[in-house]
Amino acid sequence: MPASFGRYVRRRREALRQQDSAYSVRQLAQRIGVEPSYLSKVERDEEAPPSEEKIVRLAGELGEDPDVLLAMAGKVSSDLKRIILARPELFSTLIRQLKDLPDRAVSRVVREVRDGKW
Amino acid sequence: MPASFGRYVRRRREALRQQDSAYSVRQLAQRIGVEPSYLSKVERDEEAPPSEEKIVRLAGELGEDPDVLLAMAGKVSSDLKRIILARPELFSTLIRQLKDLPDRAVSRVVREVRDGKW
DNA sequence: TGGAGTGTGTAGTATACACTACACAGCATG
DNA sequence: CATGCTGTGTAGTGTATACTACACACTCCA
């Protein structure tokens, strides 16, 4: 099973808290715009992960990649969705083709596209 | 604006209905597993599109690409989601890179990956 | 002319999502 | 010893999702 969202957030927050008292549940909750008790429950996986917007803000505060944090919450960023929805046949085919390729191969595609004259 | 989900389904169903009386609201609804009145409202865009499962069955009945029909409903197939969620950094980067490339270029990537020795 | 099939209107429901509001106990420190 | 901060428990809320159940009017045709 993948590391749970809440557990992961709690670890990150507590790590930052060592250096910076601004990372209490209360203060962090305030900065991302939720109630402390809610964040507390989320961190203990007693509540489901919050909305995309809050997760993105959380990622910002924790210095994490929003896409990765969203993934831990089982969500795909809505901007990625929009890209796929704009050309569903193309992207569906491509993504399914890449499904079983190793990371190295996918990375290579990423690089080729970035550098390339496609 | 994109063709609405309901309108599109209705057109498809009515087209098939010309040749085959099995494409009444009632019969089609039964085959996909919903109430006729619900399908009727969906087709008139009075109700939001149904769940992924029903849309996939609908696509099957109408001879449409499930991914395309799902896209019209603003949904990304859950199996695609799972693929992305398994490797969020990689797929997020790739998809964003492909965002502004023309269809031709994306198709080319699709072909290269299909044929290629990646 | 009545029985089957057509689409549709009204009303209601169960579940999930994404939270808030408030209270409370424990610790620390000035 | 009280003030302030820590995390957390309980209860409730508004909105969306994804439908069902039933009834009604109309048309076709045997």
What's the per-residue H, E or C state across chain A?
Answer: CCCCHHHHHHHHHHHHHHHCHHHCHHHHHHHHCCCHHHHHHHHCCCCCCCCHHHHHHHHHHHCCCHHHHHHHCCCCCHHHHHHHHHCHHHHHHHHHHHCCCCHHHHHHHHHHHHHCCC
CATH number for A5-75 (one of 3.40.50.720, 1.10.132.20, 2.70.150.10, 1.10.260.40): it is: 1.10.260.40
Model pLDDT, residue A116: 78
pLDDT digits (tens, 9 = 90+) for A29-53: 999 999 999 999 999 999 999 999 9
Model pLDDT, residue B118: 58
Question: For the residues A88-109, what does the mean pLDDT come to?
Answer: 97
CB contact under 8 A, A80 and B93: no
Nucleotides of D under 7 A from a protein CB: 5-11, 17-23
Say yes or no: domain B5-76 is CATH 1.10.260.40.
yes
Report if CB B51 to strand D is under 7 Å.
yes
Place of tokens 């790590």: A15
What radius of gyration, in Å, describes the C-alpha atoms of chain A?
Answer: 17
Between the alpha carbon of residue A98 and those of residues A34, B74, B84, the distances in Å are 38, 23, 10
Between the alpha carbon of residue B54 and those of residues A74, A87, A110, B26, B100, the distances in Å are 22, 21, 34, 15, 32
Model pLDDT, residue B3: 81
pLDDT over 90 percentage in chain A: 93
Model pLDDT, residue B116: 78
Look at residue A87 and tell me whether its pLDDT is greater than 60: yes
Spanning CA of A76 to C1' of C26, the rounded length in angstroms is 40
CB contact under 8 A, B97 and A87: no
Best interface-test mutation with B: which of A1, A64, A79, A81 has the largest number of B CBs within 10 A?
A: A81
Spanning CA of B35 to C1' of C12, the rounded length in angstroms is 15
pLDDT over 70 percentage in chain A: 97
Spanning CA of B19 to C1' of C6, the rounded length in angstroms is 16
Distance from CA of B66 to the nearest CA of A (A): 9
Average pLDDT, chain A: 96
Among protein residues, the one whose C-alpha sits closest to the C1' atom of D10 is A37
Find, among A27, A35, A38, the residue nearest to A61 by Cα: A27
Say which of B67, B74, B94 has its CB closest to residue A92: B67
Best interface-test mutation with A: which of B56, B81, B112 has the largest number of A CBs within 10 A?
A: B81
Q: Say how far apart CA A115 and CA A117 lie, in whole Å.
A: 7
Model pLDDT, residue B1: 52
Q: Say how far apart CA B64 and CA B72 lie, in whole Å.
A: 12
CA atoms within 13 A on the CB side of B32: 28
Look at residue A80 and tell me whether its pLDDT is greater than 80: yes
Give the 3-state secondary structure of chain B: CCCCHHHHHHHHHHHHHHHCHHHCHHHHHHHHCCCHHHHHHHHCCCCCCCCHHHHHHHHHHHCCCHHHHHHHCCCCCHHHHHHHHHCHHHHHHHHHHHCCCCHHHHHHHHHHHHHCCC
The per-residue pLDDT string of chain B (118 residues; one tens digit each, 9 = 90 and over) reads: 568 999 999 999 999 999 999 999 999 999 999 999 999 999 999 999 999 999 999 999 999 999 999 999 999 999 999 999 999 999 999 999 999 999 999 999 999 999 876 5
CA atoms within 13 A on the CB side of B91: 31
Domain locations in chain B?
5-76, 87-115
Chain A residues whose C-beta is within 8 A of a chain B C-beta are 65, 67-68, 70-71, 74, 76-77, 79-81, 83-85, 87-99, 101, 103, 105-110, 113-114, 118
pLDDT band at A6 (very low <50, low <70, confident <90, very high): very high
Q: Say how far apart CA B108 and CA A107 lie, in whole Å.
A: 17
